[in-house]
Amino acid sequence: MEVLESLDIVCWQGPLSAAIVAKAAAALESGRLLYAPRLQFELAESERKFLSPECLDGHSKNVSLRPGAPVLNGTRCRRSQHNELLGMLQRYCCLTSSMVESLLPAYAPYLKLGFTSFRPAEVSGRATAWRSDDTRLHVDAFPARPAQGLQLLRVFSNVNPRMPRIWRIGEAFENVAVRFLPQIRSPLFGSSLALQLLRRVRGRRTEYDHFMLGIHDRMKADTEYQSQVPQTQVSFPSGATWVCFTDRVSHAAMSGQFALEQTFYLPVDAMNDPSRTPLRVLERLAGRALVPVARVQT
């Protein structure tokens, strides 16, 4: 199956041709990945020292930057090195924001900035619990950060100078939902408020978040599904950049080291075709609204 929409983009800043803009949103909303093999995030010579897992703190698999907070999490770097690494992530955030605004202008007024992360650890062979095992096919859902119906648009760049980053892409989201949603019970009454009061989550976990987490977990736990579901392997070479809705695209990162990632959140109503979003698919299957209207339109 065709999973990539190739784009001939070499610059992070627009303007871009009308033809590229026209096909970008259509490809994303149909569940494909935008693939720009020549859109390279270039590291400064002084930043190449961060191409080592030694910059991690020993507990985390990523270095992350929260929007509006100029402090990195997950790194042991201090003082000048911390500031250099911070500058690298901030630059990536700025460039990807500019690119997304040029490539997806209809989305631009509604985009909300999420985390920026650097992934210096090798994916293959990493010891981890099955829920955190990114080599298993899954759709993104985060226990501590409820999306509340917002869609997860993510930009990735392979900054490894030698090795590709290998992904697997699975079946369409609606097929995933039809298979796994019936296995998930509705949340217990009051559980969402309890999680918020106990500070286990940032914000309220909606029914949508509950079901997305359940689908994420059941996908990863089902070893027969992982091996037998139709899937496509994709290799992203050094210097490549790609974009997708990771809550809609079933994906697994199989190998690779040294990648950058930027997350954006997008309201369902900003989509050209909201009916194909995970929220609307799950609501159609469940037969009811899963997120308060005010939250979906945030």
What CATH class has 4-296? Answer: mainly beta
Range in 31-35, 43-47, 122-126, 269-273 with the lowest mean pLDDT: 122-126
Q: Please give the Cα distance from 240 to 176 (Å, whole number).
A: 28
Q: Please give the Cα distance from 68 to 142 (Å, whole number).
A: 20
- Nearest 5°: the CA angle 98, 94, 19 is 20
**Mean pLDDT value across residues 209-219:** 97
Considering only residues 173 and 58, tell me which one the structure prediction assigns the higher pLDDT: 173
Mean model confidence pLDDT for the chain:
94
Under the banding of pLDDT at 50, 70 and 90, the label for residue 254 is very high
Sketch the domain layout of the chain as residue ranges.
4-296
**Cβ neighbours of residue 248 closer than 8 Å, sequence gap 6 or more:** 31, 139, 151, 173, 276, 277, 278
Percentage of the chain beyond pLDDT 90 is 86
Given a cut of 70, whether residue 222 has pLDDT beyond it is yes
The DSSP bridge pattern shows strands 112-119 and 259-266 to be: antiparallel
The DSSP bridge pattern shows strands 259-266 and 151-158 to be: antiparallel
